[in-house]
Structure 1
Amino acid sequence: MENTGFNLENKRKLLYKRKRRRKIIFRLTLLFTLIFCVSIYFILNSKGLINRKVTLSPPKEKEFIVCIDPGHGDFDIGSKSPSGSLEKDIVLSISLKLGELLEKENIKVVYTRTNDSLPWLDDANDSLKERIKISEVFKSDLFISIHCNSNYDDTNAKGIETWYKLNDEESKDFAEDIQLSLSNLNYTDNRGVKTYAKKEDALAVLELNSANSALVELGFLSNSLDEKYLTLDSNQDKIANALKEGILRQLAVDN
């Protein structure tokens, strides 16, 4: 019996048309998607949002500030050797050398003086106040006051000593670092680290300073051997480098 309700050829043509229609729809969809993506690219690129280089800066390291205090200055000459060498000149020279070395280590340096002219100095008391003020204004991490000693009653007295703030362990540690570095040069006696017995006898640049502070006596100008070493430029370079090493050790502890 012949089935007149089904035509195979027509069915094939219908399937072919549907398949072709799906291909056309797919291609048109792909084309419109591509056009859309290209349009978005040009829009973003025109606003600088494509191929933008993003630079991630590393965390900024803490900036350390060291205040260097060359003792005395101007009419306040400090100690004077029998041959005429002045404390104020020796400590200024060494302080400037020290500052240059620290700056090469990317440490910010502040000086209480960089020459022998101190227009703000009326007396020793005003001088001390101003030195402390400089350290405070710049919020120094470390403060080092550099001096030379003397004992004209006993010209055999010689050596290095470093002073720290009474009952202050950080100051004591700093003084010990400085004393160790200098004593390793072996140019004179090691007199150790010292502090005052009571606040009435305090060294103002230590006691009134909120920065971690130390005061170093590099040697005795009243002693001919100490004086000879301290006045030679090449030896001042060695001392400055030793002071730098002591300061770097202390900053490494503080970091």
Structure 2
Amino acid sequence: MLRVIRVKIRFLLLVVIVMVAVYYTVQGIANNLENRRVATLSWSVANKVIVVDPGHGGIDPGSTGATGVLEKDITLAVSRKLSTVLGQGGAIVLMTRESDTDLSDADGGKLITRKRQDLSRRVALANERNADAFICVHVNSFKSGPKEHGAQTFYQPGSEEGQRLAMAIQGELVRLLKNTTRRAKAVDYYTTRNAKMPSVIVEIGFISNPGEEKLMCDEDYQAKLAYAIYSGLVKYFAEEATPTSGSVDMEKATETFMHNEGKDFGAP
């Protein structure tokens, strides 16, 4: 009797192992197919003007992780990678900063005053360029404890296009990162409120979470984050767009507002 029970248990374990293996195989195939779909839709970002805004910089470090990692450094690294993949897709990418700087006047007075001026100028420059999308990259932090985790995309309440863009990006963050179940959320922020184009804030993870802080410092993970945001943009523009009839100017990829206004650069 005991031998029969043991045989049944082993058989059940084998069935479970096979089912798990099949599940992950199917998931992997589905994910690869979806990535191919994104590749075929990449025409949708061609010649689109997309502003990538690495959060904070210069006088404003943003949040700080337990090991001393600064938000402004992570957001810049991910934004550069995002700009690269967008540029390779034919988008015209405008970065609000490409180094550890901010857009406020050096003699602008108090820190809070300079922060407001910095934000105001980032949004104003995006509006002046009539961008098709404004992507603000930030890092989240939860002071009460290290358990909170997961990337999340925010949009301005009442903005249908902002919501659609946020949902597209969040869907890809969930699909590709596989470590967040968060949903796109409506929150009133200065940048999304004052931007004239569809705009979102992508909080790519919690710097207050040691594990996620370490992940966000990893270049491969940064590339995965950048691709997820790119993939969301591709799907967003593909929903209503038709393939561009004009040629894509691959030279127009990345531009720095602060020092190189009016100049075009190849993808970094």
Q: Normalised by the size of structure 2, how large is the TM-score?
A: 0.68
Give, in whole Å, the separation in 2 of the partners of 1:213 and 1:79.
22
1:105 aligned partner: 89
For structure 2, list consecutive stretches of 5 or more residues without a partner in the other structure: 1-44, 109-113, 242-268
| Residue type at the aligned position of 2:227 | N
1:188 CA displacement: 2.8
Which residue of 222, 226, 248 corresponds with 1:236?
222
> Where do 1:181-192 residues align within 5 Å?
181-192=172-183
Identity within the alignment, %? 31
Q: Which amino acid aligns with 1:224?
A: P
How many Å separate the matches in 2 of 1:241 and 1:149?
19
Q: What is the total number of aligned residue pairs between the two structures? A: 190
Give the corresponding residue for 1:74: 58
Inter-partner Cα distance in structure 1 for 2:223 and 2:79: 10
Q: Distance in 2 between matches of 1:194 and 1:82?
A: 27
Which of 199, 202, 208 is the aligned partner of 1:213? 199
Query: Which of 50, 67, 74 is matched with 1:90 structurally?
Result: 74
* Structure of greater Rg: 1
Maintained 8 Å contact 2:151/2:173: yes
TM-score (norm 1): 0.71
- Equivalent pair of 2:56/2:102 in contact (CA under 8 Å): no
Q: Which residue of 2 aligns with 1:161?
A: 152
Higher relative contact order (Cα pairs below 8 Å, separated by 6+ residues): 2
Code of the residue aligned with 2:137 in structure 1: it is: I
CA distance in 1 between partners of 2:213 and 2:184 (Å): 21
SS at 1:172's partner residue? helix
**Candidates 126, 138, 161, aligned match of 2:129:** 138
Output the CA distance in 2 between the equivalents of 1:117 and 1:65.
22
AA in 1 matched with 2:212 = D
- Alpha-carbon distance in 1 for matches of 2:46, 2:152: 30
Cα distance in 2, alignment partners of residues 120 and 187 from structure 1: 38
Question: Tell me, what secondary structure is at the counterpart of 1:163?
Answer: strand
Please tell me whether the aligned partners of residues 82 and 226 of structure 2 are also in contact (alpha carbons under 8 angstroms).
Answer: yes
Give the ranges of 4+ consecutive aligned residues of structure 1 lying more than 4 Å apart after TM superposition. none
